[in-house]
Structure 1
Amino acid sequence: MSMPYADGSGPLVPKPELTLPALRQAVAAVAPSRLPEFFEDLQKAFVRAGDEDSVVPIRMFYRQWGVVIEIERHPETARRLHAAEQALSSPDPNVRERAVREAGEIVRAAHREVAGG
């Protein structure tokens, strides 16, 4: 993983491959406080894969964490998402509506990026 760009405008780390080592390294770099959640989700995905005799839960885990990293590796995008999440508890319905729209746009864009589109 690379260091942040000198001017702070670029991603904190390169876009990782959707592999366990690459995702683990990227989470450690951009959201280290989420490593316990990452490993818990990993364990759940492997248990579910065994229960279902399917690799789909593992692929879903990779995709889910690819999206998290795609957001978190861009500090301004992550800041906007976290602000929108905070705004969801606003008593003002207009603020909540804007927050839902903003969060949805950010997450959908991250899903598109992870999917290669």
Structure 2
Amino acid sequence: MTTQPDHGHELIPRPESTPDAVRVALARIAPHRLSEMEQHKEQALAAALTDGKVGHLRHWLAYWQAQVEIERRPDLHSRHQAALAAVHATDSRDDPGFGEATAELRAVEAEAQQAVSG
């Protein structure tokens, strides 16, 4: 596991870029999401077997690396939770708050993705 000190407190070090390391990290910081991760893995594996492309598995790993990044960093986690709450507080997609909240969700996910791919 490695660390990135430039964004403050982290709950755990960033895991290595392997499925096992990402799963262990998720189990430590968000065990309630393990079944979601497993289900997503089964879908990615089925898609990879169907069309013969490992890209499905690469996408799965990249997605979960970013999810662990969000969960392990309180700064990203709080922004993510606030954006989700804002989305759920809107009445429809036409609500101006919906667009702002979804933009923030995309920004948090992009920041997490960039952190783990850089």
With structure 2 as the length reference, what TM-score do the two structures score? 0.83
Counterpart of 2:104 in structure 1 is 102
**Which runs of no fewer than 5 residues in structure 1 stay unpaired?**
2-8
Aligned partners of 1:53 and 1:101: how far apart in 2?
34
Runs of 4+ in 1 over 3 A off after TM superposition: none
Aligned partners of 2:19 and 2:56: how far apart in 1?
13
Q: Per-residue deviation at 1:113?
A: 1.1
Q: What amino acid sits opposite 2:107 in the alignment?
A: E
Q: What amino acid sits opposite 1:102 in the alignment?
A: E
Q: Per-residue deviation at 1:96?
A: 2.3
Counterpart of 1:45 in structure 2 is 44
Counterpart of 2:115 in structure 1 is 113
Counterpart of 2:18 in structure 1 is 19
Counterpart of 2:72 in structure 1 is 73
Identity of aligned residues (%): 31
Counterpart of 1:30 in structure 2 is 29
Greater alpha carbon shift after TM alignment, 10-19 vs 97-106: 97-106
Aligned partners of 1:58 and 1:107: how far apart in 2?
19
Aligned partners of 1:82 and 1:74: how far apart in 2?
12
Aligned partners of 1:32 and 1:77: how far apart in 2?
18
Counterpart of 2:5 in structure 1 is none
With structure 1 as the length reference, what TM-score do the two structures score? 0.83
C-alpha distance after superposition, 1:47-86 (max 9, x if no partner): 1111111211111110010010111101231121111111
Aligned partners of 1:100 and 1:46: how far apart in 2?
29
Aligned Cα RMSD in Å?
A: 1.9
